[in-house]
Structure 1
Amino acid sequence: MLLTITTTHEPATDLGFLLHKHPDRAQAFPVSAGNAHVFYPEAGPRRCTAALLVELDPVALVRGRAGGLSQYVNDRPYAAGSQLAVALRTVFGTALAGRCAARPELVDTPIPLEIAVPSLSAGGGADLVERLFAPLGWRVEATPVPLDEQVPGWGDSRYLSLRLRGQSRLATALSHLYVLLPVLDRGKHYWVGEDEVDKLLRAGEGWLAGHPERELISRRYLAHSRPLVDAALSQLAESDDTPPEELDDALAEPAVTAAPEAAEPLAVQRQGSVLAALRAADARRVLDLGCGSGMLLRLLLREPSFTEIVGVDVSTAALRAAERRLRLDRLPEAARARITLRQSALTYVDPALAGYDAAVLMEVIEHVDEQRLPALEHVVFAAAHPRTVVVTTPNAEYNVRFDNLAAGEFRHADHRFEWPRSRFREWADGVATRHGYRVRILPVGAEDPEVGPPTQLAVFTAEGGAA
């Protein structure tokens, strides 16, 4: 897969500063199932071109079951799609985030850009490419690639040669590619989970909410998962003040979901179970540890019984996303006074987390290396020692019920482990014994007679009921 970025902004070699890649050096970066290379075919004061070449091993793709591939002969190493988008984020992550210490004035400066993708996987053809990129200010040239240039009668392939020309901030241009390449490809090579909503909204900030094809973009980017698409469209509606009900027609076509369509989405069931546990504990002051983009915080804020809510995360980007989701700048003063966002690592003691009625670790522990769990245990159960702790985590046994998960594959690329029920019970019992808690294990979601529920939940209650 090849992508080139060219500018005639003078001096054109400033492109190297913006991309954080020196024009005089060829560099290689490991990516999933292969390597990405950055080099400059031309680098002069008037014209500079940076090339990103991604080499994927088709055998490794199949053995790793990335994207559910079963044949060594496939188009993934050659046709730009979700793998190229991930490589863009991996190699040009700082540029995508809009940071450049060497040339800070350039970050927000639109510069002339020409972007070329010689082989693009484009479900929907040239017409859809035009509909996606033209509203963003690009002049689009999408040319079908012939099946065989020497045999014109064979016609065109389903791939396009794409060329975009226009004036844009480099970070904005990269965000367009990061979102729209997988949308055109119609097939992501990794598990699409709840965090993909926040990835979409972060990458699409400033342009997606006003895009005439935002519904189609959301559906394809989120693999037609109805609960995820609903969440994305609702937040996009908030960002441009469009009533969410006006977007319902975007969901008219069938959506693929992990659970039967009549069932409540697992994310909703999980949040409901956590809320029920907090209500049963009569909690008033609550910590959401590893709050991420604030999905649970928004529900907690709706309940007046929670008088103090603190969202904690190590990621400043996640906290910014939570601030946007909660719309803190628009909350009434009384509601705003009830909630605080705090950056803190859950493997280091933070005295400010002590003294609360309850703490929630919702889908958090599996993102921590197992050898670091004792540190998290000490921080939460010994140092903070709330009266109630609620923990949820995936039940690894249930993974066989997800059709798009290969054997041994985790539900999320960032998971360090996923435990079966017996291992979670063993861990929970050990934590309770070591720190003076009682513990109950509860199911979340419909229980399968063979493999149990999709999510497992533990409610820890301090002996004596005192924090």
Structure 2
Amino acid sequence: MLLNITTTHRPAADLGYLLHKHPDRAQRFDVSTGTAHVFYPEVTEERATATLLLEVDPVGLARRDGDTLGQYVNDRPYAASSLLSVAIGKVFGTAMRGRCDARPELAATAIPLEIHLPACPRAHAERLFGPLGWTVEAAPIPLASAFPDWGESPYVDLRLSGTQRLADALTQLYVLLPVLDNAKHYWVSADEIDKLLRAGKNWLATHPDRELITTRYLVHKRRYTVEALARLTELDDRPAEDADVPEREERLPSLAQLRREAIVDELRALGVRRVVDLGCGEGRLLRELVKEPTLTEIVGMEVAARPLLTAASRVDRFAERQRARVTLYQGSITYADPRIAGFDAIVLSEVVEHVDPPRLPALAETVFGIAKPTHVLMTTPNAEYNVRWETLPAGRFRHPDHRFEWTRAELSTWADEVCATHGYEVRHVPVGPVDPEVGAPTQLAVFTRKEA
């Protein structure tokens, strides 16, 4: 199988520096499925092309295939797939990381690129690469040129053209080739989640088909897909990008950071000393809470084991005096738990929208009726603001695990009912830039018990 990478950036021979492969010699690399070759069929001042040729070992491939017929009749050695993705990672790993000591400024620069895959799975090619800024040309390949009546094969001759950093182009290929193929030639474990998030950190979170990409990359293993989607930076957590701001200038804080700061500010103003982060996830808010010296006791509770392990790992890295103030529990937000009763405050940060609506009365009873903290701080998306996210399709939620997203009026109605039932008062605080028509992207409701 073949991958051609072409640039017209001048001097075009600098492509060799970016790929860490000298244009004047062919190189050979052993990979798990065969042998990879890198050579340059074209190098001029105006244009250079690097070719990655993967020769698949047919015997090794047959041993991997459990289907007896598939050992003899298959297209795996020829069509771009996870086999080529692994070769890209092995041969161009340094280039994927954006490292180029000889030309660091070039590695950070978007340059004109053409990517050519002579045989690539047809399904979803334009849908996956188009939103990333590529011009996509997918020419159908006949099943057999001698027999036109047989129709088209499931493959296309794929050409991508655009202006990208080479590192971004390589990471996109690394992730999307297995997605196009909808299969992998090796066993997929939980480690694949980290690989996906590392490779897609600059573009996957804002891709309109990130759920499709994640599902296919993780070979439809639901527990892995759910975890990966939960760990992806949410659309409303990404900092605003301004093309006029110099690259080295400090970025504006993300909405997630603004939420955490708003929560800490409110806790400080309310005089809170003992607080529970209910639904603490991987512990990002805990990291901010331990920085606040007025908080003497901090509890994190999470129902899912894996995020709780991540939170525990994060807590272990705290300074000793900070770590001594933090306790982690595994538990549900909809079941009474005496371990979180009687605290000054309970925080529900981006939690309520993950609860099925029929379970909301149980959540309210657990938090307001049984735990009875002096204060409850709850953040949740403002559904009205969703129209301001250009990459969020109409009618879609900001996160695939959201069960609902409230408008400001809907949150106000729910909050008033909770207050009437459990004896609290509530005030609403906008978080993030306030749009005059649709409000702020995040809603913060601050509940205070009346007899407190």
Question: TM (normalized to structure 2)?
Answer: 0.55
Instruction: Work out whether 1:435 is the aligned partner of 2:436.
Output: no
CA distance in structure 2 between the aligned counterparts of 1:313 and 1:115, rounded to whole angstroms? 46
Would the aligned equivalents of 2:301 and 2:330 in 1 still touch at CA under 8 Å? yes
* Structure 1 unmatched runs, 5+: 1-6, 9-44, 52-113, 137-141, 204-220, 231-250, 256-260
> What is the match of residue 454 of structure 1?
441
Letter in 1 for 2:262: S
Inter-partner Cα distance in structure 1 for 2:77 and 2:397: 32
Matches within 5 A, 1:204-219: none
Cα distance in 2 between the residues matched to 1:349 and 1:451: 36
Contact 2:431–2:442 under 8 Å retained in 1: yes
* Other-structure match for 1:367: 354
Counterparts of 2:270 and 2:361 in 1: how far apart (Å)? 25
| 1:319 equivalent in alignment to 2:308 | yes
Deviation readout 1:190-233 (Å, 9 max, x if unpaired): 469xx9xxx9xx98xxxxxxxxxxxxxxxxx869x897699xxx
Larger radius of gyration: 2
Count of residues in correspondence between the two structures:
299
- Measure the CA separation in 2 of the matches of 1:283 and 1:341: 19
Q: Secondary structure at the match of 1:49?
A: coil
Amino acid at match of 1:145: A
CA shift in 2, pair 1:331/1:222, >3 Å: closer
* Deviations 1:394-419 (CA, angstroms, capped at 9, x unpaired): 11111111101122111111111111
Q: 1:444, 1:457 within 8 Å by CA — same for their partners in 2?
A: yes
1:362-410 deviation line (CA, Å, top 9, x unaligned): 1110100111000000000011000010011111111111101122111
- How far is the alpha carbon of 1:49 from its aligned partner? 3.0
Post-superposition CA distance 1:227-276 (Å, at most 9, x none): 7699xxxxxxxxxxxxxxxxxxxx99999xxxxx9753211111111111
Confirm whether residue 305 of structure 1 aligns to residue 294 of structure 2: yes
Report if aligned partners of 1:121, 1:185 keep a CA contact under 8 Å in 2.
Answer: no
* Cα deviation code 1:81-120 (max 9, x no counterpart): xxxxxxxxxxxxxxxxxxxxxxxxxxxxxxxxx9959765
Partner residue, 1:157: 158
Paired with 1:372 and 1:135, the residues of 2 have a C-alpha distance of 49
Counterpart of 2:327?
Answer: 340
User: Which amino acid in 1 is paired with 2:89?
Assistant: L
Which residue does the alignment assign to 1:445? 432
Cα RMSD after superposing both structures: 4.8
Cα deviation for residue 144 of structure 1 reads 3.1
For residues 71-110 of structure 1, what are the structure 2 equivalents within 5 Å?
Answer: none
Distance 1:120 1:173, change over 3 A: farther
Q: Is the 8 A contact 1:363 1:393 kept in 2?
A: yes
Give the equivalent residue in structure 2 for 1:233.
Answer: none
Q: 2:278 aligns with which of 273, 278, 289?
A: 289
| Aligned pairs (5 A) from 1:53-202 | 120=80, 130-134=87-91, 144-145=118-119, 147=139, 148=141, 156-158=157-159, 171=189, 174-175=192-193, 178=196, 188-190=207-209
Identity in percent: 42
Alpha-carbon distance in structure 2 between the residues aligned to 1:455 and 1:226: 9
* Residue 464 of structure 1: aligned partner: 451
Of 338, 345, 363, the residue aligned with 1:351 is 338
In the alignment, structure 2 segments of 5+ residues that lack a partner are 1-31, 34-61, 69-73, 94-115, 121-138, 146-155, 161-172, 225-231
- Residue matched to 2:263: 274
TM-score by length of 1: 0.53
Partner residue of 2:393 out of 403, 406, 431: 406
Specify the alignment match of 1:395 in structure 2.
382
Q: Where does residue 23 of structure 1 map in the other structure? A: none
1:331-370: per-residue Cα shift (whole Å, max 9, x none)?
A: 3432221101111011111111101110000111010011
Look up the equivalent residue of 2:159 and give its one-letter code. R
Task: Read off the aligned partner of 1:356 and give its amino acid letter.
Answer: F
